[in-house]
A and B are shown apart, each in its own frame.
Chain A
Amino acid sequence: MRIDRLVSPWAERVPDRVAIEGVRETLTYRELDRLANRFAHALRAAGVEPGDRVGVHVPRSPRTVAAMLGASRAGAVYVPLDPGSPPARMQLVARDCGLRHVVITPGLLAGWIAAGVQEPVERFLLAEDGAVPALPAPGRVHPWPEVQAASADPLPPPGASPDELAYLLYTSGSTGVPKGVMLSHRNALAFVDWACDAIGLREADRVASVAPFHFDLSVFDIWGSLSRGATLVVVDEGMVASGRAMVDRIQARGITVWYSVPSAILLMLENGGLADRGAPSLRAVYFAGEVFPVKHLRRAMAALPQARFYNLFGPTETNVCTAYALPGPPPPEATAIPIGQASCGDVATVVDPEGRPVPDGEVGELFIEGPTVMLGYWDGGRRTPARHPYPTGDMVSRRPDGELMYHGRRDHMVKIHGFRIELGEVEAALLAHPGIQEAIAFAVEQQLVAVAIPSQPSLSVLEVKRHCAARLPRYMVPGEVRLVQGLPRTSSGKIDRVRTRNAVVSGDTALLAPALRAEPRKEP
């Protein structure tokens, strides 16, 4: 199967069913199918050739999906661009993958122009009505009515092989330079089909679109719901900043399936009143992208007793490669939950630094082989193929019952004074304190630093250290503990480790505002 062919069968069978419910716009399956064809014709008319990359720089909406589907039907490789990223970063991406065409909103295009960013893009297709601006460099802007006027008839299918490149996702990479991950139709649909089958996704389902489209979680939302004739309900960029707005949206629109980073669920618990209000329509909750602290997971599961929860795991390079269906809330003594077993037809092995499998119970790197392993990195057109099996850079161990446990990123393993320290373990110990809401740890030179958001203003640095000293070997007790009001986030909502560490190193107190302090209760 291919992404470009997923929607048409539903457009024939149930043309009037709502395919995508946006905030201002709703598209039925027939409307989506026809609008995607119009985008495909308009892109071809603007010079797009099969195999070209097409950028889609449009806030999450039904039209954004139509543009990606249209690019795919035109035989192009779609590249979702982050509406929240500065134009200079978009230009790095555009140069890396040689974007000549970008579907964009007039507002975002104005940002590119104001920043003097355009090259290498030659043609912009507007996805909304708006004034057609003058470009800084040679090129052309195609106004929205031009797309609307394009033919809605299907183009000849662009290709037959599911192994062709379907889309590029740019990840920030540890160095901060964006890396284009090449994913084929098979890569995407191996995960999508597995995830749909695991929860029995059906036509009556209403699937939330919470994750940004440049983030791999969205691959399930979009193509999972549209491949099963279900309805995709957009929870847009404005809503995901507010727990209350997200809970409102779930309740008002009867969302049944949710897939997000744990941080988004935590936000609904913290300021959305999820624990009191509940969300009875939700029947399945997938989460991925970062560790879900078990104490918060228990709260989420208590708030949504009718929903099944699943921990999905995998870097963008393998989409999702392991999964764990929670049998129930984690028991009181549990400090972590498994990432489960290989999923999506993948095979998982745990290996030592020489590549030899390690015995059960020992920590090693997770290697993945199977249909979700990316084609490779775009890498400025050099197309560096993926290594097989793919070394994920994630450290795991296998329990006797076969479930894999996560121990953190290989590059989160630091050495301080010769001691090997797994930062994930330090973070788990920090989070075990009831007064700590969120926390991360990292090394700065030869010092272990913890940055934590307290849930009570009475939490003191001494208390945090004492707590760690009671649980960890002395060399793993953070030398420096910062209590802060908030942590910087990535565009996908995860804690931004790089920016947090940089702020500590540079002493940036604007980014890491100290938490409010209150005297702790006197100890007995």
Chain B
Amino acid sequence: MEPRVRADIRRYIVATWLSGDDRGFDDETDLQQSGILDSFTTLALIGFLDDSFQVQLEPAEINADTFRSVSRLARLVVQKLEQREKTGA
């Protein structure tokens, strides 16, 4: 599941904030140092995670560490999806 989540997040970021130019961008690219995420784009990304994966982040989860890179974000999303499956089952 994680590769698909990663790909979705990556595609969204490249389309929304990199004018579709994915050169140099990968799952480990630092989203803050690269000027992609600030407080407003972070909000948009949170909205995207909600719309695409029905994942809602807790305030404590919204921090620089989680939003460091595509891979960290994807890991959190997958964690939450798996948790939901367990509790739902």
Q: Which residues of A contact B (CB under 8 A)?
A: 417, 446, 458, 460-463, 465-466, 468-470, 474-475, 477, 479-483, 517, 519-520, 523
Partner of B19, one of A469, A474, A477, A481: A481
CA distance A469 to B25 in the complex (A): 15
Residues on A with C-beta less than 8 A from B33 are: 466, 469-470
CA distance A477 to B36 in the complex (A): 8
Residues on B with C-beta less than 8 A from A463 are: 24
A523 B38 Cβ-Cβ under 8 A: no
Residues on B with C-beta less than 8 A from A466 are: 33-35
Interface: B29 (CB within 8 A):
yes
CA distance A247 to B69 in the complex (A): 50
Known contacts being A462-B18, A479-B17, is A520 close to B23, with CB within 8 Å?
yes
Q: How far is the CB of B70 from chain A (nearest CB, A)?
A: 12
Q: Beta-carbon contacts of B2-21 to A below 8 Å, as 1s and 0s?
A: 00000000000000011101
Known contacts being A468-B35, A469-B34, is A462 close to B21, with CB within 8 Å?
yes
Known contacts being A474-B35, A477-B35, A479-B17, is A462 close to B41, with CB within 8 Å?
no
CA distance A320 to B34 in the complex (A): 41
Q: How far is the CB of B56 from chain A (nearest CB, A)?
A: 24
Q: Which residues of B contact A (CB under 8 A)?
A: 17-19, 21, 23-25, 29, 32-36, 38, 40-41
Partner of B25, one of A446, A462, A483: A462
B35 A480 Cβ-Cβ under 8 A: no
CA distance A316 to B60 in the complex (A): 56
Q: How far is the CB of A426 from chain B (nearest CB, A)?
A: 12
A-B contact pairs, 16 of them (CB 8 A): A461-B21, A461-B23, A462-B18, A463-B24, A465-B35, A466-B33, A466-B34, A466-B35, A469-B33, A469-B35, A474-B35, A474-B38, A479-B41, A480-B17, A483-B21, A520-B24
Residues on A with C-beta less than 8 A from B32 are: 469
Known contacts being A479-B41, A523-B24, is A465 close to B19, with CB within 8 Å?
no
Residues on B with C-beta less than 8 A from A475 are: 38
CA distance A458 to B33 in the complex (A): 20
Partner of B36, one of A460, A465, A482: A465
Q: How far is the CB of B41 from chain A (nearest CB, A)?
A: 7
Q: How far is the CB of B8 from chain A (nearest CB, A)?
A: 19
A-B residue pairs, 3 tightest by C-beta: A469-B35, A465-B35, A460-B23
Main secondary structure of the interface of A (DSSP, over half): mixed
In the complex, which of the residues A461, A463, A466, A523 has the most CB atoms of chain B within 10 Å of its own CB atom?
A461
CA distance A462 to B14 in the complex (A): 9
CA distance A261 to B41 in the complex (A): 38
Q: How far is the CB of A477 from chain B (nearest CB, A)?
A: 4
Residues on B with C-beta less than 8 A from A462 are: 18, 21, 23-25, 29, 34, 36
Residues on A with C-beta less than 8 A from B36 are: 462, 465
Q: How far is the CB of B31 from chain A (nearest CB, A)?
A: 10
Residues on B with C-beta less than 8 A from A458 are: 23
CA distance A469 to B23 in the complex (A): 17
Residues on A with C-beta less than 8 A from B21 are: 460-462, 483, 517
CA distance A465 to B17 in the complex (A): 9
Q: Which residue of A lies closest to B38 (CB)?
A: A474
A417 B34 Cβ-Cβ under 8 A: no
CA distance A481 to B40 in the complex (A): 17
In the complex, which of the residues B21, B25, B35 has the most CB atoms of chain A within 10 Å of its own CB atom?
B35
CA distance A284 to B40 in the complex (A): 49
CA distance A31 to B41 in the complex (A): 67
Residues on B with C-beta less than 8 A from A469 are: 32-35
CA distance A474 to B24 in the complex (A): 20
Q: How far is the CB of B29 from chain A (nearest CB, A)?
A: 7
Residues on B with C-beta less than 8 A from A446 are: 40
CA distance A481 to B17 in the complex (A): 8
Q: How far is the CB of B80 from chain A (nearest CB, A)?
A: 27
A482 B41 Cβ-Cβ under 8 A: no
Q: How far is the CB of A503 from chain B (nearest CB, A)?
A: 14
Residues on B with C-beta less than 8 A from A520 are: 23-24
Q: Which residue of B lies closest to A477 (CB)?
A: B35
Q: How far is the CB of B17 from chain A (nearest CB, A)?
A: 7
Residues on A with C-beta less than 8 A from B38 are: 474-475, 477
Q: How far is the CB of B15 from chain A (nearest CB, A)?
A: 11
CA distance A460 to B19 in the complex (A): 10
Q: Which residue of A lies closest to B21 (CB)?
A: A461
A465 B34 Cβ-Cβ under 8 A: yes
B19 A480 Cβ-Cβ under 8 A: yes
Residues on B with C-beta less than 8 A from A482 are: 19
Given contacts A461-B18, A479-B41, 8 further A-B contacts (CB under 8 A): A446-B40, A460-B24, A462-B25, A462-B36, A465-B35, A482-B19, A519-B23, A520-B23
